[in-house]
Amino acid sequence: GEQVEQLPSILRVQEGSSASINCSYEDSASNYFPWYKQEPGENPKLIIDIRSNMERKQIQELIVLLDKKAKRFSLHITDTQPGDSAMYFCAASNQGGSAKLIFGEGTKLTVSS
């Protein structure tokens, strides 16, 4: 089936620095790209999303970039805090007339103080 590749799988940064996670997708018809944050023992929660009619979206310290030509999108967390430590998942819509999202394998982000 369709795949979404997410890298890196593990990311360690110092508090106050930036963290970047990159995803690539296969289906050129994908038009919706959400990012979910999952803290240990918790369920995933949507933190930011972008649709294909945009190239950039920012919500506070979160920035998402979308390059439709390259079929890549990325999450950038500026000024990271220990509370940003969690698993992050990207996802891409699977157009084929369905309501499916295809999730990446996840990135474990650790922010150390």
Partner 1 sequence: GGIITQTPKFLIGQEGQKLTLKCQQNFNHDTMYWYRQDSGKGLRLIYYSITENDLQKGDLSEGYDASREKKSSFSLTVTSAQKNEMAVFLCASSPDWGGYYAEQFFGPGTRLTVL
Interacting residues with partner 1 (CB under 8 A): 1, 6, 31-32, 34, 42-46, 49, 51, 87, 89, 93, 98-106, 108
Token pair for 104: 């990446």
Shortest Å distance, C-beta 12 to partner 1: 15
Shortest Å distance, C-beta 46 to partner 1: 5
C-beta of residue 108 within 8 angstroms of C-beta of residue 87: yes
Nearer to partner 1, 42 or 55 (CB): 42
Omega of the bond prior to 8 within 30 degrees of 0, cis? yes
* Burial of residue 97, with CB atoms counted within 10 A of its CB: 0-12 exposed, 13-18 middle, 19 or more buried: exposed
Shortest Å distance, C-beta 28 to partner 1: 16
